[in-house]
Each structure stands twice: as C-alpha cells, then as structure tokens.
C-alpha cells in the first residue's frame, strides 16, 4: 500500500513539472530563424600543435642470442657418511733453477789463500744431502807465525713420517807453530824450537727426533742424539769420545712429564798420561705450562766414573712468566751440573798447550750452584733483547799459565780451595732491524770473580763486547762489520828468568811468581760484497782494521791488518 502511494506521488510531480515547462515556453515570443548548411564539420589542428614526424610502423625486433644448455643427467649421490676426497697426484716439476751450491776463492796479504765449496741437493722434498770443503792459510810478519785450517764434511737430513733423521760426518785440521816471542832477562830467546803443532779431528754426529703434532693434546715427544770424535795433536796426544743423549716428554693436560738422559765416555792418552773420564746424567722433571707462564721442577743426578768416581745431586728449577705477552718475559732458575773438561775444547781455546802429564792434567769442574734471572722479549720482528744476571759457585775452574822452564807453552791449572769460588755476572744481548737496509746486533758480558786460591782468573776478561752490523745498500751491494772488544786480563809467570819488559808487572807476595797485565784490545773488521750477476759476486774483507798487534795470551801477538778479496759463484 505504501509503495502505491509513493508511485502516485511521483507521477503527479512529473505531470506538474511538464505543465509548468509548457507554460514558460508559451511566455517567449514566437520567431522564425533560418540556418544555411555550407559544408560538413571537420576538426582542424593549428600548426603549432602538429606532429611533423610520421611513425614508422614497420615491425623490427632486436637480436636475441640463442642459448644452449647441456644439462647432465646425473643422480646426486648422497651418503650418510663423509666421503674421503681423492687427490690427483701431479708429476714433480721444477719451476726454476735452484742455486744451492756455491764456490768461493780469495787471496790477500800475509800470504792468505782462501777456498770454499758447498754442495747441497734439494731434489727430494723431504730429504737434503750435501757436503763442503774449506781451506784457509795465513802467515804473519813474525818468524814462524803461521796458521792454516781445513775442513771437509758431508751431511744429510730426511723426514720419515713421525720422525726426522739428520747427521754429519767430517774431518777438520788446524795447524800452527809455537812462535811465542819470549826472552830471558839477558834478551836471549827462550823459544829455541818453533816447532809445528797440528790438531786433527774426525767427528760424527747424528740425531733422531720426533716431529711436532699440533693436533695432539697429549703429545709424546722424544729424541736420541749420538756424538763421537777422535781428536789428536802432533805430539801423540789423543782424545776419543762417544756420547749418547736423549729426552722423553709426555704432555698430560697442562703438565709435561719427562726426563733428559745422557752418557759421555771419554778417554785421554799421552806418552806418559792416561785418563778415563766418563759422566752419566739423569734429569727428571715436571713442567706446568699455561698461556703466560712456564714452571719446571726437577733434579739433576750426575755420576762421574772411570779413573775417579763421584756422584752429585743438584736442584733444577726454572720459571718463565709473560709480564707483557709477546713483549716482555721474566725468567729465572737454579741448577747445578758437572762440566766436562776436554782436551778438544782446551786446545781450541788455547792451541799452545804443553804435553799432558802430572803437572798438566784433566779435571772436571762442578757448578755447585747456578742461580740466574732476567728479562727478555721483543717488539715485533724488528727489536729483540735479553738481560740476564747470574751467580755461580764453581769448583775446579780451569785456567792457563805459562809452563815453568818452557814459557812458550801453557799448562792447565785449576782453582782449588776449601770452598767453591764464585762468579757474579751480567749478560745483555740486543738485535735491532732499523729498516730493510740496516740490521744491528750486540752482546756484552760482565764478570766479577771471587777466587779462593788464584790471584786472578787468568786470561779470563771481566768485560767482553761483540757487535755486528749489516747494510743492504741495494739488491746487489752488501756491507757488514764486526767489533770485538775485550778488557784487560792477567797472565801468571812462575819462572823468574822470563823477561817481562813491556808488560805491567805485579809481584804475588813472596812466592816468586809474577802477574803480568795483558792490555785490553779492540778488533774491528768489515767486508763488502757486490753481486755482479745472479750467480757471480766479488767480495773484499778487512780484518783487524786498527792494525793492533794485540795478545790474547802472553808472548803470542795476533795478526795485524789483513785483507782478503776474491770471487764467489752460485750454481
């Protein structure tokens, strides 16, 4: 019903509107207009908005390359375990010619002749074999002041899985003369026969050592070393020695448990003297090791046997603590030991020893206590240093003294007393690389002796300095230098008939013996090498540039200024 009323109302409104519109039209005046049609309507654009270029409706496509895909039809092989990779072995080939070998020849004043040949093979990656030959002879300005040395040897090294083997066998000879310039109080020479002296050494050394395994947290390491030599001089004095040494070490967490063991069997003989001098040592230890510290505690058992027998037990403890890691470590320790006195070492230090006998014999020295400590470290790869102080109590220290009745030869004398003698010392060492061009290094020693019997530590300096420098001027030119300075020492004279004019002399009480001062000296040497080619170089060497005829031992002046020059070849 409601919709019917609404429709009736809408229709009524429309009728009223139409009627009203008709009434308004009727109100305008009625006129008649005429319209002339000339042409059809065409819309025309102005010139300003026209596009003068007609579009190119030709169908052009860019070039599309054709791709070919070669998809392998393979099944992915997935295993539950890890598959070991197979390595394709490549044939060994050298990328460049190696120059491990060289030859060196030279000559100079004082009748100097020098020759060296060094050969080495690196054909195998894990094995090295080689050999060398050396010769040097010189003659000073004094009568029979001659020196010569020769060496020949072969060596080898190989890596066999968990171990490494290396060894060397060789022969060396050193010859000189008893040229001592010594006179009696009337000025007559006491050296009637400047006889020849020569030392021959046939030696062998070999070592077996376990290789380090970085992955092993409980590593077991070991080594075994053998040394043997047959040593003799021109007067039928001989020394034969055979030694075995080894160590065992087992890592257990932060601990290392191990032992050092050695046995030295030595025999010395002369025309009227024989000695069997054997030493056995056992040094068990336990080491506590952390990131910044290392502490070792143990003992040193030493037994001497042969012509005499003696057993000693010494403490053995060391500590190393990183005060500033990689820059400064403090270290210290206490230990003791028996030091073997051998004819070989004595004559290398002083080649003018007299024949062995009752007044010139061999005795081992004993370090009753050796306490040391210091600081060491580095600053990168350009600066390294070490400073160490020590205190030693020693029995039977060996010294040299002029032989009574034969003052151009020397005897070995020992510091004896009711108590051990002491040495307080300081050592310093430094290495500096100033730049890629300059490298410097040096070492200094200071010693103060408190002896029980002897007046002085004969021929042993209280101060000794050595320094070296190297300058890489270019890729072809190298210059190096060395300096050795030794403080004054003292020599013991037991013969009142020896003329000591030119020396500072002090009488030793009422014993009739005298103390002669051996002046301090400095020995400066330098050398240069120029690489003319990759394989050929020329060199020159100047020794004792200050030209000082200094003495290391009484009555035996050293060579003055000597110059050596020559050529070396690499091949």
| Alpha carbon separation from 117 to 134, 148, 170, 566 (Å, rounded) | 7, 17, 14, 14
Question: Is 237 a domain residue?
Answer: yes
CB-based contact 554:491 (threshold 8 Å): yes
- pLDDT (0 to 100) of residue 182: 95
Confidence (pLDDT) at 98: 57
Residue 490 lies in a domain: yes
Range of the domain at 142: 102-570
**75 is a domain residue:** no
Cβ neighbours for 278, distance < 8 A, ≥ 6 positions apart: 263, 264, 265, 266, 304, 305, 306
Whether 35 maps to a domain, the answer reads: no
Q: Are 513 and 491 in contact (CB under 8 A)?
A: no
**For residue 55, is it within any domain?**
no
Local structure of 35: helix, strand or coil: coil
Asked whether residue 371 is assigned to any structural domain, the reply reads yes
The DSSP code sequence of 186-233 is: TS-BS-----EEEEEEEEEEEEEEEPP-TT-TT-EEEEEEEEEEEEEE
The one-character DSSP state at 292 is S
For residue 83, the model assigns a pLDDT of 46
DSSP bridge partners of 177:
196
Q: Kindly report the CA angle at 549 between 113 and 148, in degrees rounded to 5?
A: 25
Nearest alpha carbon to residue 216 among 269, 264, 252, 168: 252
Count of domains observed in the chain: 1
Alpha-helical runs (H) found in 268-404: 343-349
The bridge status of strand 438-450 relative to strand 463-472 is: antiparallel
Rounded to whole angstroms, the Cα distance separating 357 from 272 reads 6
Determine how many CB atoms are found less than 10 A away from the CB of residue 89: 6
DSSP letter for each residue of 364-396: -EEEEEEEEEEEEEESTTSEEEEEEEEEEEEES
Position 444 in a domain? yes
Query: Which pLDDT belongs to residue 212?
Result: 79
Other beta carbons within 10 Å of 180 = 24
DSSP letter (8 states) at residue 502: T
Q: How many residues does the chain have?
A: 571
In a domain, 7, yes or no: no
| Cα–Cα separations (whole angstroms), residue 402 to 42, 137, 334 | 142, 27, 36
Going residue by residue through the chain (571 aa), what tens digit of pLDDT does each one get? 444 544 445 445 555 444 444 444 444 444 444 555 555 545 555 544 444 555 454 444 444 455 554 544 444 444 444 444 454 555 444 444 557 899 999 999 999 999 999 999 878 889 999 999 999 999 999 999 999 999 999 999 999 989 999 999 999 999 999 999 999 999 999 998 899 999 999 999 999 999 977 666 678 899 999 999 999 999 989 999 999 999 999 988 889 999 999 999 999 999 889 999 999 999 999 999 888 999 999 999 999 999 999 999 999 999 999 999 889 999 999 999 999 999 999 999 999 999 998 889 999 999 999 999 999 999 877 899 999 999 999 999 999 999 998 999 999 999 987 788 999 999 999 999 998 899 999 999 999 999 999 999 999 999 999 999 999 999 899 999 999 999 999 999 999 999 999 999 999 988 889 999 999 999 999 999 999 998 999 999 999 999 988 999 999 999 999 999 999 999 9
Angstrom distances, CA of residue 200 to CA of 149, 268, 276, 540? 10, 15, 20, 30
Q: How many CB atoms lie within 10 A of CB 341?
A: 20
Residue 185 CA, chain-centre distance (Å), reads 52
In angstroms and rounded to an integer, the radius of gyration of the C-alpha atoms of the chain is 48
Question: CA 243, CA 249: separation in Å to the nearest integer?
Answer: 21
Helix residue ranges, H only, 281-411: 343-349
* Strand partners of residue 506: 515
Q: Tell me the CATH number at 195.
A: 2.40.170.20
């Amino acid at each position: 019903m409601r919709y019917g009323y609404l429709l009736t109302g809408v229709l009524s409104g429309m009728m009223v509107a139409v009627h009203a519109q008709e009434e308004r039209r009727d109100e305008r005046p009625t006129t008649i207009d005429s319209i002339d049609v000339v042409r059809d309507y065409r819309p025309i654009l102005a010139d300003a908005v026209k596009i003068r270029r007609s579009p190119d409706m030709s169908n052009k496509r860019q070039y599309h390359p054709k791709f070919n895909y070669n998809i392998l039809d393979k099944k992915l092989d997935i295993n539950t375990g890890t598959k070991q990779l197979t390595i394709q072995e490549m044939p060994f080939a050298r990328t460049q010619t190696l120059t491990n070998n060289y030859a060196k020849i030279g000559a100079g004043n004082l009748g100097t002749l020098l020759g060296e040949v060094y050969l080495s093979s690196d054909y195998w990656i894990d094995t090295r074999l080689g050999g060398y030959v050396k010769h040097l002879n010189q003659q000073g300005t004094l009568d029979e002041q001659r020196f010569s040395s020769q060496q020949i040897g072969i060596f080898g090294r190989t890596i066999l899985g968990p171990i490494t083997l290396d060894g060397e066998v060789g022969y060396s000879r050193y010859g000189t003369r008893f040229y001592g310039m010594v006179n009696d109080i009337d000025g007559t020479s006491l050296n009637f026969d400047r006889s020849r002296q020569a030392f021959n050494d046939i030696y062998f050394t070999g070592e077996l050592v376990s290789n380090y395994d970085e992955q092993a947290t409980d590593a077991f390491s070991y080594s075994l070393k053998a040394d043997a030599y047959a040593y003799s001089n021109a007067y039928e004095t001989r020394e034969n020695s055979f030694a075995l040494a080894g160590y065992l070490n087992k890592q257990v967490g932060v601990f290392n448990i191990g032992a050092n063991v050695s046995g030295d069997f030595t025999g010395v003989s002369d025309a009227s003297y024989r000695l069997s001098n054997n030493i056995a040592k056992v040094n068990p230890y336990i080491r506590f090791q952390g990131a910044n510290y290392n502490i070792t505690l143990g003992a040193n058992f030493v037994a001497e046997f042969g012509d005499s027998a003696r057993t000693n037990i010494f403490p053995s403890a060391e500590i190393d603590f990183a005060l500033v890691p990689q820059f400064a470590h403090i270290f210290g320790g206490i230990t003791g030991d028996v030091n073997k006195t051998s004819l070989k070492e004595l004559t290398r230090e002083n080649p003018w020893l007299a024949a062995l006998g009752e007044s010139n014999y061999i005795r081992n020295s004993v370090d009753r206590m050796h306490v040391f400590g210091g600081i060491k470290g580095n600053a990168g790869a350009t600066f390294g240093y070490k400073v160490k102080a020590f205190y030693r109590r020693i029995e039977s220290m060996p010294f040299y003294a002029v032989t009574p009745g034969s003052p151009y030869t020397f005897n070995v004398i020992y510091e004896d007393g009711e108590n051990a003698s002491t040495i307080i010392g300081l050592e310093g060492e430094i290495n500096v690389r100033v730049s890629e061009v300059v490298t410097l290094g040096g070492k200094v020693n200071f010693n103060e002796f408190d002896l029980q019997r002897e007046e002085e530590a004969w021929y042993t300096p209280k101060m000794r300095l050595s320094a070296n420098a190297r300058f890489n001027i270019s890729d072809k030119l190298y210059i190096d230098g060395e300096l050795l300075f030794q403080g004054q020492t003292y020599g013991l004279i037991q013969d009142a008939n020896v003329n000591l004019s030119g020396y500072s002399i002090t009488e030793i009480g009422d014993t009739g013996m005298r103390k002669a001062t051996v002046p301090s000296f400095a020995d400066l040497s330098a050398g240069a090498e120029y690489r003319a080619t990759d394989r050929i170089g020329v060199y020159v060497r100047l020794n004792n540039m200050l030209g000082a005829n200094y003495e290391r031992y009484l009555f035996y002046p050293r060579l003055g200024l000597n110059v050596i020059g020559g050529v070396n070849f690499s091949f």
